[in-house]
Structure 1
Amino acid sequence: MQTARFMGGTALALALSTIALSTGAQAHDVYADDHAPIGVMADHAHKKGEFMLSLRVMHMEMEGNQIGTDEVSPDTIVTTVPNRFFGMPGQPPTLRIVPTEMRTDMVMLGAMYAPSDAVTLMVMANYLQKEMDHTTYMGGAGTTVRGTFQTNPKAFGDTKVAALVPLLGVPEAGEVSTDELTLKAGVSLPTGSTDETAQILTPMGGTPTARVPYMMQMGTGTFDLEPALTYKGRRGKLGFGAQASASIKLDDNKWGYAFGDVYEGTAWLSYRPAQWLSLSARVKGRSMDQVEGIDPNIMGPVQTANPDFQGGERIDVLGGINLVGTHGALAGHRFAIEVGVPVYQDLNGPQMAGDWMLTAGWQKAF
């Protein structure tokens, strides 16, 4: 929560600075809705010789558990859900550890360069910190709580590289009626760790160090294809767009598993009351498959250790603010923030449910 408040406060301070420098004469042919909402990646290409830097910070929270679309309590999980690893030494018949809350913070640094009008190259690196709170129940059966613990891995994640091809060309600066269609051919490189560990609390009271489950790892460990197709349009003060994207795993990683393929679709509308300001509303749908295979080092009476309890379907609604400096020290600098909540979740559970997310960012083309 403190990280999220810090990011929101920082974004607000940047926005106020931008507004202060955007009053008076407008000297640059830039508009706040030239770009998509900050949570949409790879939405535009550049003209030959242009270079752009971007910095995004993202905070996501999860709370509670679901099986399908139904909420389920920790007590129900530990008394009804079988433990996949039952029969192995020290493994009880039902789950005995339940995750209750999770927070993810991500910092993403990106760069784009257009060697020609026909293609823009993009690279993005990220650093992640994840926190998950757990409740451990006494060994055997029943609903007697032994205690709680938290795991908190942090490291660099996977690196994204892509080529963006503008199928409809790149609009000239200052155009108020535009149409863009951009194809992304991307690959995710396995630079993120897949062997993060943490100290846990077992049902018998032990505190060993173990490999954290799948969703707490920093990367996929696989090369992933990440194509996308984005349409973006503007008619005067109204903007709109849609994007379809995917993350397709090409093989198992070194531990013998692959995260599920991800398919996403999003659409948005925006309104620009002033050159330097636009407001957006967006809906996003996401479908993620279960983990294929299993890491033999990830084992325990907790749902997150079961590859079958991963993935599902989800729909989010999001609102955002985009700002751009039009003259002075912040001319051409873009600042944006977007906040969203899930409105539908159908999870391969028991699995933690999403609660809310926030993305704030800065962009500048040269």
Structure 2
Amino acid sequence: MKTLLAAFLVVSISVVNADIDPDAHAPIGVMGDHYHKAGEMMFSYRFMYMSMQENLDGKESISPEKLVTSIPNKFSSLPMMPPTLRVAPTKMSMQMHMLGIMYAPNNRITLMGMVNQIANRMDHVTFAGSMGTTRLANFETKASGLGDLNILGLFKVRESIKSRWHVTTGLSLPTGSIEKEGIILTPMNKTPMVRLPYPMQLGSGTFDLILGLTHARKLGDWGWGGQWKSIVRLKDNNEGYSLGNQHQLTGWLSYHLNERISASTRLSFMHENTIEGRDASVTAPVQTADPDRYGGQRLDIGFGINAVLPKERLRIGIELQAPSFQNLNGPQLSTDWNITLGVQFIP
């Protein structure tokens, strides 16, 4: 609860044109939602925090005790490996600081670049020996550093007074590490330094194609829009795997509370495939080491506020999201909630 309250104290700021219109941008959690006029440049900052806890197998909750006595260990054929999982993640947090720049060389094209600083933390419980439900101890792993670099183009398709369409295309470049290590606790009470599993790594390790289509409309005090976005992995990385392709569809509705403030609600559906291939350095009796236990579907609902400060050419926004439905290729940790904030400036 303290973490949630602290997160709400962070301010998200974004710049707009001279018009006082809090709906000029989508909710702050939607990336690449707008383009710019010729010659405009915008620098941006966003903060995102995600909390994950409770393991789901499909749609059903599964306790750590059931997980370590019923879920097969993918690596059981290796020497000294137990037949079932013996380590269970209990919660994970991810903090992301996103720096971006947008520039429009003309009225039809806006170029966008974004890089992330990521800090991941995962808590685990290790069970003693190769069977049973005796808890040995808890431990945590951490990884932080630079994430992948995104370079995008936003291409205006159609624009009128009340609506606009644009297409997004670009690449994610593998600048984030996929070789982070940490100390773990084994069922035999050993503490080796090992390659951390896939969700703790900071990047994909691959060149990824990013595609999207965005539409927004206004009618009086109301605004609404939608966006489709996909991330397609182009090949395996140097460690022999590729993360699952992601496909997201989101739609939002906003209303002017007054000339400077609008409130919004948003639905977001995410589908993610399992990991293809595997990192030979990641072998442990834990679900996060199994490439087949990734991906699934999730439906989030979000609520946000945008507020315009016209004299300073600033926009303040905040959006909180939580899942209403999850069906995971589990067992895996489920999303609990996330919050997005940001700062953007047009010089």
Question: Which TM-score band applies after superposition, normalised by the shorter structure?
Answer: over 0.9
Q: Work out the CA distance in 1 between the residues paired with 2:232 and 2:77.
A: 34
1:360 is aligned with what amino acid?
L
After superposition, residues 99-110 of structure 1 pair within 5 angstroms as: 99-110=89-100
Q: Work out the CA distance in 1 between the residues paired with 2:59 and 2:170.
A: 33
TM-score (structure 1 length as normaliser): 0.92
Q: Work out the CA distance in 2 between the residues paired with 1:154 and 1:213.
A: 14
1:6 is aligned with what amino acid?
A
User: Alignment partner for residue 294 of structure 2, among 295, 306, 310?
Assistant: 310
Q: Work out the CA distance in 2 between the residues paired with 1:227 and 1:130.
A: 26
What is the aligned partner in structure 2 of residue 245 from structure 1? 229
Q: Work out the CA distance in 2 between the residues paired with 1:30 and 1:122.
A: 24
What is the aligned partner in structure 1 of residue 40 from structure 2? 50
What is the aligned partner in structure 1 of residue 341 from structure 2? 360
What is the aligned partner in structure 2 of residue 262 from structure 1? 246
2:339 is aligned with what amino acid?
L
What is the aligned partner in structure 1 of residue 11 from structure 2? 11
Q: Work out the CA distance in 2 between the residues paired with 1:139 and 1:282.
A: 46
Map Cα deviations across residues 130-154 of structure 1 (whole Å, 9 max, x no partner). Answer: 1100000001110001101000100
What is the aligned partner in structure 2 of residue 333 from structure 1? 314
After superposition, residues 74-89 of structure 1 pair within 5 angstroms as: 74-89=64-79
Q: Work out the CA distance in 2 between the residues paired with 1:91 and 1:309.
A: 18
What is the aligned partner in structure 1 of residue 258 from structure 2? 274
Structure 1 unmatched runs, 5+: 19-26, 172-176
After superposition, residues 1-366 of structure 1 pair within 5 angstroms as: 4-11=4-11, 28-169=18-159, 177-327=161-311, 331-366=312-347
**Equivalenced residues, count:** 346
Could you tell me whether the CA contact under 8 Å between 1:299 and 1:305 is conserved in 2? yes
Higher helix share: 1
1:62 is aligned with what amino acid?
M
Q: Work out the CA distance in 2 between the residues paired with 1:118 and 1:269.
A: 26
SS at match of 2:11: helix
Structure 1 stretches of 4+ with a deviation exceeding 6 A read: none
Structure 2 unmatched runs, 5+: none
Deviation at 1:118, TM superposition (A): 1.6
Percent sequence identity over aligned pairs: 42
What's the RMSD between the two structures over aligned residues? Answer: 1.7
Q: Work out the CA distance in 2 between the residues paired with 1:298 and 1:256.
A: 11
TM-score (structure 2 length as normaliser): 0.97
Q: Work out the CA distance in 1 between the residues paired with 2:238 and 2:201.
A: 14
Deviation at 1:3, TM superposition (A): 5.5
Deviation at 1:229, TM superposition (A): 0.2
Deviation at 1:10, TM superposition (A): 2.6
Q: Work out the CA distance in 2 between the residues paired with 1:212 and 1:322.
A: 38
Deviation at 1:235, TM superposition (A): 1.1
SS at match of 1:77: helix
